[in-house]
Structure 1
Amino acid sequence: MQTKVETSTPPGTPTPIGPYNHIAKVGPFISIGGTAGVDPATGQLAGPDVAAQTRQILKSFRTMLRSVGSDLDHVLHINIFLLEMSDFDAMNRAYIEGMGDHRPARTVIGVSELPKPGVRLTMNLTAVAP
């Protein structure tokens, strides 16, 4: 089994706001770090609401996973960090749109603050390459 960790931030995804890459992959295992709903074309939030930001995060995840030979159907677990739990239902509706019928394990955590102003949530995930 491969033990070298490969890291990357593929084109068409938001620029990280810190000293990290979005993706870390070793063998078939893929980890994507905290991702906000930022439109990579503009560098701005995809919208002020949790639904628009959720849709953008899942769009970014699709691009990131495709860059390492995987897709959303191979996600094992997603962590969601919500700024306001009152956004839970709206986030879920957008999440279902983006994830289709695949229902990986998931954790939703309420947080008091996120690093980028205007961000309603961030997500990270663990997946495998098929």
Structure 2
Amino acid sequence: MAEKVIIATENAPAAIGTYSQAVRVDNTVYLSGQIPLDPKTMEKCGEDFDSQVVQVFENLKAVCEAAGGSLQDVVKLQIYMLDLANFAKVNEVMAQYFQQPYPARAAIGVKQLPKDVLVEMDGVMVL
């Protein structure tokens, strides 16, 4: 059986439940959902979608780096939004963090997210 390595960094919000920021098995890293919390204060970053989506990408970036990779190593990204009308903004901000070839992706409209944030993302990274 493959060994599981738990990934943790102070540069992303601490886990607020029974989960790890990420788990690596062989060369695959499973990234837990990140919401727009400031890792230092554990408070929500802004009320607007623009600031929240940037913070989520920053949090994912920090966990990827702690696992020895980067956002460019993400092969699958799931985006959960309260309002799918923000999809164009996600694409705009994502283009600042990712280069082609882009990861496979799903954008899912949801009714509610933890701490009443507007966006959450999780993913899979291959090193």
* Pair in the same fold by TM > 0.5: yes
Give the aligned partner of residue 27 of structure 1.
26
Q: TM-score normalized by structure 2?
A: 0.91
Between the aligned partners of 2:43 and 2:100, the Cα distance in structure 1 is 29
Between the aligned partners of 2:91 and 2:46, the Cα distance in structure 1 is 16
Give the aligned partner of residue 15 of structure 1.
14
Give the aligned partner of residue 111 of structure 2.
112
Contact 1:46-1:52 within 8 A present in 2 as well? yes
Amino acid at match of 1:78: L
> How large is the Cα RMSD of the aligned pairs?
1.5
Q: Does 1:80 align with 2:114?
A: no
Give the aligned partner of residue 90 of structure 2.
91
Contact 1:51-1:93 within 8 A present in 2 as well? no
Measured against aligned partners, the alpha-carbon deviations of 1:41-65 in whole angstroms (never above 9, x if no partner) come to 2211222122211111111112111
Number of corresponding residues: 127
Unaligned ranges ≥5, structure 1 = none
Superposed structure 1 runs of 4+ greater than 6 Å apart: none
Unaligned ranges ≥5, structure 2 = none
Between the aligned partners of 1:112 and 1:92, the Cα distance in structure 2 is 21
Contact 2:8-2:66 within 8 A present in 1 as well? no
Instruction: From the superposition, tell whether residues 102 and 41 of structure 1 become closer, same or farther in structure 2 (CA, over 3 Å).
Output: farther
Contact 1:23-1:30 within 8 A present in 2 as well? yes
Give the aligned partner of residue 49 of structure 2.
50
Q: TM-score normalized by structure 1?
A: 0.89
Identical aligned residues as a percent: 25
